[in-house]
Amino acid sequence: MTEDLTGDLTGDRGGSRYGEKADKVIASGIYERAWRGEREEELSLALLGQRVRLPEQPDCGEGDELRPLCYVRQMKKIGPVLLDIHGGGFVEGTAGADDALCDYYHRRLGIAVVSLDYRKAPAYPYPAALRDIAAQVEWLCRERPWGIRPEQMIIMGHSAGGNLAAAYCLLAVREGLPRPAAQILDYPYLDLQMDCGDRPAMPEAISPGIMEVFRRAYDGGQGRMGESLMSPVCAAQEELAGLPPAFLVTCGRDSLCPEGRRYGELLQKAGVPVARLHCAEAQHGFIEHTFNARSRFAAAAEQKEMARRTVEQTAQWIEMMVSSI
C-alpha cells in the first residue's frame, strides 16, 4: 500500500527535501488505517485458531485489539525454536506475513517456529515494537510452551524485522533478558540516522522518500535515530561484544546493503562469529516477495531462484548452530 499512496515520494533524491512530504504522509493516517485493517484480518484468523494471543505483558498493547498475535508451528517434542520477525518499514505487516517462509523452515528443519508481531508506527513509535518483541520472547522463555527449548532459541528478522532482531540481541545483553543462541538478519535496516538522500542510488531500491517516511514514523519525532537500539550500526564495540553468532544476508541491488555489510564488520571486530552471504544481484525483500503470495511486489524468476538458494543456505546454517548448542 506504500508506493501507490505516496507516489510523490518516489522521485528526486535528497533527504532534506523529503522531510515535509514525509511528515504529511505520516499525518494523513494512511499507515494507521492500513494497520488496523491488517489487525482485523489477523483477529479473524485468531478466532479460527490460526493465530495465538500471547498473555498480556506490561509493555504490550492493552486489550485483545493491540496485543501482538503469534502464528505458531509447534512440535510434540522439546527442541529448538525459530522466532521470526516480519518486515514492513515498522509501519505495516503482520505475524502472518511470513507464513510460507516459516512453513518451509518448520518442515525443512523439524523445529518449532513462532512468528512474532508488534505494534506499528506511527501510532506506536520506537520503542513500542522492540518492547513488544522483548515481552513475547520473555514470556516464551519463561513459560516454555509448544515444546520449545529457550537455550536453543534463534531469532530471525527481515528488513525492519532485522533491525528489531539485532536490537533485541543488544537489549538482551544490556538488560539481562533471554539471550538468543543465534541471530539471522536478512537485508536489515540498521541505520535510521542516515539521511535517505545519502543512500546509494539504484532503480530497484526502496525510494529515498519512502525511506524517509519509515525513519520519521519509527522515530516519532523523538530525535533518537542515533541510539543503538534504534540504529544498531551505532552500537559501541563493548555493546556488540557477547552478542550471539549471526547469519547476515545482504543484497547488491539494495540501498540498505552498505549498512548491513558494515554491521557485519563491526560484529566481527567485536569478536562475534558472523557468516555473511552477499547476493550481488538480489533486490531488497527478494525472500519475502518469493515466499509471500500476498506481496505487492512480484519477484522475477531469477530473484525467486536466489531466494530459494538463500533460504536453503540459511537452513543449513541453522542446522549447524542447533547441533552446536
Show which residues are catalytic: 159, 254, 284
Could you give the strand order of the β-sheet that contains 112-116, starting from the edge strand earlier in sequence?
A: 52-53, 69-73, 112-116, 79-85, 148-158, 182-186, 246-253, 274-283
CA distance 94 to 101: 14
The whole-number pLDDT of residue 38 equals 80
Helix, strand, coil percentages in the chain from 3-state DSSP, rounded to 5: 45, 15, 35
Name the nearest CA neighbour of 156 among 174, 122, 133, 132.
Answer: 133
C-alpha to C-alpha distances, 269 to 19, 132, 242, 263, nearest whole angstrom: 35, 30, 12, 10
The whole-number pLDDT of residue 57 equals 57
pLDDT in tens, the chain (325 residues): 344 444 444 444 444 578 888 889 898 888 888 877 887 777 777 766 667 776 655 555 555 455 566 667 766 667 899 999 999 999 998 888 898 999 999 999 988 899 898 989 999 999 999 998 998 899 888 888 877 888 899 999 999 999 999 999 999 999 999 999 999 999 999 999 998 888 888 888 899 999 999 999 999 999 999 999 999 999 999 999 999 999 999 999 999 999 999 999 999 999 999 999 999 999 999 999 998 766 666 678 999 999 999 999 999 999 999 988 8
The whole-number pLDDT of residue 59 equals 55
Alpha helices, DSSP H only, in 186-300? 208-219, 237-240, 257-269, 286-291
Take residue 233 and report the three cell numbers written for it: 550500526
Handedness of CA 145, 148, 154, 157 (dihedral sign): negative
The whole-number pLDDT of residue 7 equals 47
Take residue 92 and report the three cell numbers written for it: 505495516
Residues 56 and 77 sit within 8 Å (Cβ to Cβ): no
Name residues whose C-beta falls within 8 Å of residue 129's C-beta, 6 or more positions apart in sequence.
90, 118, 119, 120, 121, 164, 218
The whole-number pLDDT of residue 55 equals 62
Take residue 226 and report the three cell numbers written for it: 542515533
> What CATH homologous superfamily does 2-324 map to?
Alpha/Beta hydrolase fold, catalytic domain (3.40.50.1820)
CA distance 311 to 289: 13
To the nearest 10 degrees (0 to 180), the angle between helices 128-143 and 160-175 is 60
Take residue 7 and report the three cell numbers written for it: 507516489
Residues 264 and 187 sit within 8 Å (Cβ to Cβ): no
Cβ atoms within 10 Å of 53's Cβ, excluding its own: 12
Exposed, middle or buried by CB within 10 Å (0-12, 13-18, 19+), for 241?
A: middle
Name the nearest CA neighbour of 119 among 94, 137, 144, 141.
Answer: 94
Pairing status of strand 112-116 against strand 69-73: antiparallel
The whole-number pLDDT of residue 293 equals 63
Give the Cα-Cα-Cα angle 104, 110, 116 (nearest 5 degrees).
60
The pTM score is 0.90
Alpha helices, DSSP H only, in 29-127? 30-47, 63-66, 99-109
The whole-number pLDDT of residue 279 equals 97
Residue-range domain boundaries for the chain: 2-324
